[in-house]
Structure 1
Amino acid sequence: MSMLELLPLVFVMIAGPQILTPIFLATSENWRKNSAAYVAGASLSISLIVTLAYVFGTGTVGQGASNTTLSAIVLVALLLAMVNTYRTRNESEPPRWMGKLETATPRFSFRLGFLLLGFFPTDILTSVAVGSYLAANEAPLTDAIPFILLTLLVLALPSLTLIAFGDRAETFLPKARDWMDENSWLVNEAVIVFFIAMSLNNLF
């Protein structure tokens, strides 16, 4: 997969609570271990879903699965996600688990990374799309490594920023968190539209 194809996929993976969470964790009491545990959980779940999609996709390629069919399925799912994002744009109440992030433990952070990046609707859709795409094109599973690594790098950016910039990052991160919290639905819509354009390009 080319870098042009990877970038929107990565943004779909991290848009919303997926990137808000590592920002919160980077300002938690045990931020180093929490941030590392979150990324580790995410790496496990993303790799698992991509691999399963690849294995099952490989088994169905000979039965007529095609890029066009896969693109059509992804397109329908994205349109539904876009409608749902717009419908819930005014629901400002944060998830209950976000209140636990400031006092999170590494175990909680690992579990959260595993669940958010592995089983959040847009994330599981994206990981399945990557695995199925590689299977349909008879590409090796290792071609998914850049997608996984780039996603993990973005998730690690809050803690890496804190390591690199120290006190300045401690001032900046809460502001970034608040802005993304208030505008997350717009960010989600933007990346979904970008991904829809890619799916339409594959179809036509």
Structure 2
Amino acid sequence: MDGLQILPLAITMMVGPQIMSAIIFVTAPRAVRVSLGFLAGVAIATTAGVAIMLGIATLLGSAVDFGNSSDKGSAGKVVQYLLVGLLAAAALKNWLGRETIEPPNWLGTLMSADPKRAFTIGLMVILLMPSDLVVMLTVGVNLEHSGAAFAEALPFIALTVLVAALPLLIWLLFGQRAEAAMPRVRDWMNTHSWLVNIIVCVIFIVIILF
């Protein structure tokens, strides 16, 4: 997988409650320790998730013929079109319900999290998020189709963790200015969660189609 493939996938892994969690942790007490616990959870969850999805892709590859990627009538293309339809419907639903959509309630409890809870959250926001499961399955299928080893997914895993670490890195580099800006970014994402969801859907559609 080259950089043009893994960059949008890694960004999509962290768009939504995932990056919102990372931002909240840098505005919490003991920000560095808590954020490092979160990043450890993200790293382990992403590594395990890709390994599991590669195993699933390998099993599916031996049981189902997805056909040639240039064949618009192949089983693989049909699955892609169904995914695009579902994502478009999800984006439309978020747009129509934008006045009432709110972020998950558990995000509000993260300010008091300790490193252990942050680690658990890091695991959960990767392994329990349907969007991330689809991304990791995409990576697994890509590896299986190209006959690549699991090691080929390491740049994707590293880039995902780097994206997750951006709030902490910005906080460390820019100090007080970042400390003042992060709560505003957090509040904006809380009030515009519907827009974040739509962006995730659009990114997925672009990845699937191109």
How would you bin the TM-score normalised by the shorter chain?
A: 0.7 to 0.9
Match of 1:186 in 2: 195
Most deviating of 18-27 and 64-73: 64-73
Gaps of 5+ in 2: 70-74
Question: Counterparts of 2:143 and 2:181 in 1: how far apart (Å)?
Answer: 39
The equivalent of 2:72 in structure 1 is none
What secondary structure, in the 3-state scheme, does the structure 1 residue paired with 2:28 have?
coil
DSSP-derived class of the 2:192 partner: helix
Residue 165 of structure 1 aligns with which residue? 174
SS in 2 for 1:33: helix
CA RMSD of aligned residues (A): 2.1
Stretch of structure 1 that moved more, 182-191 or 97-106: 182-191
Larger CA deviation: 146-155 vs 66-75:
66-75
- Alignment partner, residue 150 of structure 2: 141
Tell me the distance in 1 between the aligned counterparts of 2:131 and 2:66: 22
Total equivalences in the alignment: 201
> Which AA in structure 2 matches 1:152?
V
Quote the residue 2:23 is aligned against.
Answer: 23
Question: Residue 81 and residue 106 in structure 1: after superposition, are their counterparts in 2 closer, same or farther (change >3 A)?
Answer: farther
> What is the TM-score with the length of structure 1 in the denominator?
0.87
**CA–CA distance in structure 2, aligned partners of residues 70 and 127 of structure 1:** 17
**1:94-133 alignment to 2 at 5 Å?**
94-133=103-142
Where does residue 174 of structure 1 map in the other structure?
A: 183
TM-score (norm 2): 0.85
- Contact 1:45 1:118 survives alignment (8 Å): yes
Alignment of 1:66-85 (within 5 A): 66=67, 68=69, 69-70=75-76, 72-85=78-91
| Identity, % of aligned positions | 34
Q: Structure 1 regions of 5+ residues with no counterpart?
A: none
Residue 34 of structure 1 contacts residue 104 of structure 1 at CA under 8 Å; is this kept in 2? yes
- CA distance in structure 1 between the partners assigned to 2:67 and 2:114 by the alignment: 44
Aligned counterparts of 1:71 and 1:14: Cα–Cα separation in 2 = 26
Give the Cα separation in 2 of the matches to 1:85 and 1:177.
22
